[in-house]
């Protein structure tokens, strides 16, 4: 062999070796998160990434992108579905328009309280929602807590449905929420999470609705100080992975992935409970004016057209709605 041939053989061997190690070392996954550093979900997602590489000996690696830097939630849902991103933490709210089963949790007041949601998710209803997500390309690895959402605005305390009349209220991207605000006589304004602060500040909208931690972490309490504890929506969140990516994993890797996700959910839910209280205290100290709703039943009654319209359009979801309502 002359030197040229020797060189060619060596180069080929190196190329094969490099190629082999690249295929054995799976590519780093990209993860989407809307929340800022320090938020319970953010901490839990970083923990998830750590656990994943630890438990898989570096075979599965994930880089989390926080603060919505990879785009709005509706966009990110599409990105994970098509596989441009692998992992994300989504609220079931903006998932509703894509996954019909997931939309059921966006019916106002469907859950009795924030504990009821876990009894529901641990049972058949949780399975049905997960199956619905899988059909749309998203595998649910774990459930995260997002507490209850209440109304807040820059004008006045809301005590009764009529107080919402004429108010411009930001909602997440989902017709159910627009229907909810319209049923109260307000003007719904669907908008991305990142735009809400400025819109409240400049009066593009009068109000919005969210849980204590998001009301606080976004600074919305600085520009919309009336928080009325309506707790009209209790929307759980998912830690999800693209279905193709998941299905290509070995059974062993799927198990590791699920175990890491479950562990991160324990962290998230624990941090969530603490953050709810801490956020409530912080916004009150920061000038938020908080009121309880004297008669929640008036708000519940006002939601009848929202339920009627939803069930008429989705007759197949009646059993799931009933199942949730009848879960003790
Ligand atoms: C938060 C939720 C986010 C996002 C946001 C919103 O509570 O965790 O995923 O849905 O609300 O209002 O857009």
pLDDT tens-digit series, residues 161-190: 999 999 999 999 999 999 999 999 999 999
Nearest partner of 186 among 209, 213, 212, judged by Cα: 209
For atom 2 of ligand 1, the residue with the nearest CA is 91
Q: Are residues 64 and 115 in the same domain?
A: yes
Does any domain span residue 200?
A: yes
Does any domain span residue 10?
A: no
Centre of ligand 1 to C-alpha 17, Å, is 46
Which numbered atom of ligand 1 lies nearest the CA of 149? 7
CB of 216 closer than 8 Å to CB of 281: no
Burial label, 179 (beta-carbon count in 10 A; 0-12, 13-18, 19+): buried
How many percent of the chain have pLDDT more than 70?
Answer: 92
Lowest-confidence pick of 10-24, 118-132, 284-298: 10-24
Residue 210 Cβ < 6 Å to ligand 1: yes
Compute the average pLDDT of residues 42-51: 98
The reported pLDDT for the residue numbered 25 is: 54
Compute the average pLDDT of residues 297-306: 98
Residue 211 Cβ < 6 Å to ligand 1: yes
Q: Which SS3 state, helix, strand or coil, does residue 249 take?
A: coil
Measured in residues, the chain has a length of: 328
Residue 130 Cβ < 6 Å to ligand 1: no
Does any domain span residue 210?
A: yes
Does any domain span residue 16?
A: no
Residue 303 Cβ < 6 Å to ligand 1: no
The reported pLDDT for the residue numbered 82 is: 98
Q: What is the pTM of this model?
A: 0.92
Q: Assess whether pLDDT exceeds 60 at residue 241.
A: yes
> How many CB atoms are located within 10 Å of the residue 7 CB?
11
Residue 186 Cβ < 6 Å to ligand 1: no
Q: Are residues 127 and 261 in the same domain?
A: yes
The reported pLDDT for the residue numbered 5 is: 55
Mutual orientation of helices 40-55 and 251-285 as an angle, nearest 10°?
160
- Per the structure block, which two tokens stand in for 180? 């909810």
Q: Assess whether pLDDT exceeds 60 at residue 73.
A: yes
Domain that holds residue 87: 28-146+235-272
Compute the average pLDDT of residues 298-311: 98
Residue 172 Cβ < 6 Å to ligand 1: yes
> How many CB atoms are located within 10 Å of the residue 219 CB?
15
Q: Alpha-carbon distance 94 to 74, whole Å?
A: 6
Q: Alpha-carbon distance 294 to 292, whole Å?
A: 6
**Between the CA atoms of 174, 216, 203 and 206, what dihedral angle is there, to the nearest 10 degrees?**
60
The reported pLDDT for the residue numbered 26 is: 74
Residue 193 Cβ < 6 Å to ligand 1: yes
pLDDT band at 15 (very low <50, low <70, confident <90, very high): very low
How do residues 207-237 score in pLDDT, each as one tens digit?
Answer: 999 999 999 999 999 999 999 999 999 999 9
Does any domain span residue 4?
A: no
Does any domain span residue 6?
A: no
E strands, the chain, are 29-32, 62-65, 87-91, 138-144, 149-153, 168-171, 187-190, 207-210, 226-233, 237-242, 289-292
- Number of independent structural domains in the chain: 2
Residue 174 Cβ < 6 Å to ligand 1: no
Q: Are residues 138 and 46 in the same domain?
A: yes
For atom 9 of ligand 1, the residue with the nearest CA is 91
The reported pLDDT for the residue numbered 6 is: 56
Centre of ligand 1 to C-alpha 60, Å, is 28
Q: Are residues 288 and 253 in the same domain?
A: no
Q: Are residues 83 and 194 in the same domain?
A: no
Q: Are residues 117 and 251 in the same domain?
A: yes
Helix H or strand E encompassing 203: none
For atom 3 of ligand 1, the residue with the nearest CA is 91
Q: Assess whether pLDDT exceeds 70 at residue 24.
A: no
Q: Look over the chain and give the mean of its residue pLDDT values, rounded to a whole number.
A: 94
The reported pLDDT for the residue numbered 172 is: 97
Q: Are residues 175 and 309 in the same domain?
A: yes
Centre of ligand 1 to C-alpha 48, Å, is 20
For atom 10 of ligand 1, the residue with the nearest CA is 91
Domain at 241, CATH number:
3.40.190.170
Centre of ligand 1 to C-alpha 251, Å, is 32
Q: Alpha-carbon distance 303 to 183, whole Å?
A: 7
How do residues 242-276 score in pLDDT, each as one tens digit?
Answer: 999 999 999 999 999 999 999 999 999 999 999 99
The reported pLDDT for the residue numbered 2 is: 55
Does any domain span residue 15?
A: no
Q: Are residues 216 and 311 in the same domain?
A: yes
Q: Are residues 292 and 182 in the same domain?
A: yes
Residue holding tokens 């003790």?
328
Q: Alpha-carbon distance 213 to 66, whole Å?
A: 16
Q: Are residues 64 and 213 in the same domain?
A: no
Q: Are residues 177 and 320 in the same domain?
A: yes
Which numbered atom of ligand 1 lies nearest the CA of 214? 7
Compute the average pLDDT of residues 108-122: 97
In degrees and rounded to multiples of 5, residue 65 shows phi and psi of -110, 115
Does any domain span residue 214?
A: yes
Q: Assess whether pLDDT exceeds 80 at residue 17.
A: no
Nearest partner of 289 among 231, 239, 245, 224, judged by Cα: 224
Q: Are residues 226 and 173 in the same domain?
A: yes
């Amino acid at each position: 062999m002359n030197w040229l041939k020797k060189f060619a053989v060596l180069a080929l061997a190196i190329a094969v070796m490099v190629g082999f190690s690249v295929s054995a070392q799976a590519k780093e996954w990209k993860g989407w998160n809307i929340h800022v550093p320090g938020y319970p979900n953010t901490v839990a997602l970083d923990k998830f990434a750590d656990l994943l590489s630890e438990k898989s000996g570096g075979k599965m690696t994930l880089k989390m992108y926080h603060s919505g830097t990879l785009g709005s939630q509706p966009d990110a849902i599409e990105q994970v579905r098509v596989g441009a991103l692998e992992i994300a933490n989504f609220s079931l709210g903006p998932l509703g328009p894509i996954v019909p089963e997931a939309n059921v949790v966006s019916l106002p007041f469907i859950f009795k309280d924030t504990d009821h949601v876990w009894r529901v998710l641990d049972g058949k209803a949780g399975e049905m929602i997960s199956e619905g997500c899988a059909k749309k390309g998203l595998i649910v690895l774990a459930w995260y807590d997002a507490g209850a959402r209440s109304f807040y605005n820059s004008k006045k305390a809301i005590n009764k449905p009529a107080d919402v009349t004429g108010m411009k209220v930001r909602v997440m991207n989902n017709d159910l929420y627009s229907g909810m605000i319209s049923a109260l006589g307000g003007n719904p304004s669907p908008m991305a999470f990142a735009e809400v602060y400025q819109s409240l500040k400049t009066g593009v909208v009068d109000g919005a609705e969210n849980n204590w931690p998001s009301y606080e972490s976004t600074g919305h309490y600085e520009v919309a100080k009336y928080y009325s504890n309506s707790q009209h929506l209790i929307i759980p969140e998912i830690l999800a992975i693209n279905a193709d990516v998941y299905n290509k994993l070995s059974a062993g890797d799927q198990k590791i992935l699920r175990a890491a996700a479950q562990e991160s959910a324990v962290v998230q839910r624990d941090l969530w409970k603490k953050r709810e209280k801490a956020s409530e205290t912080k916004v009150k100290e920061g000038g938020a004016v908080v009121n309880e709703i004297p008669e929640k039943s008036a708000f519940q009654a006002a939601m009848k057209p929202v339920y009627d319209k939803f069930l008429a359009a989705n007759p197949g979801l009646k059993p799931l709605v009933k199942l949730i309502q009848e879960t003790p």
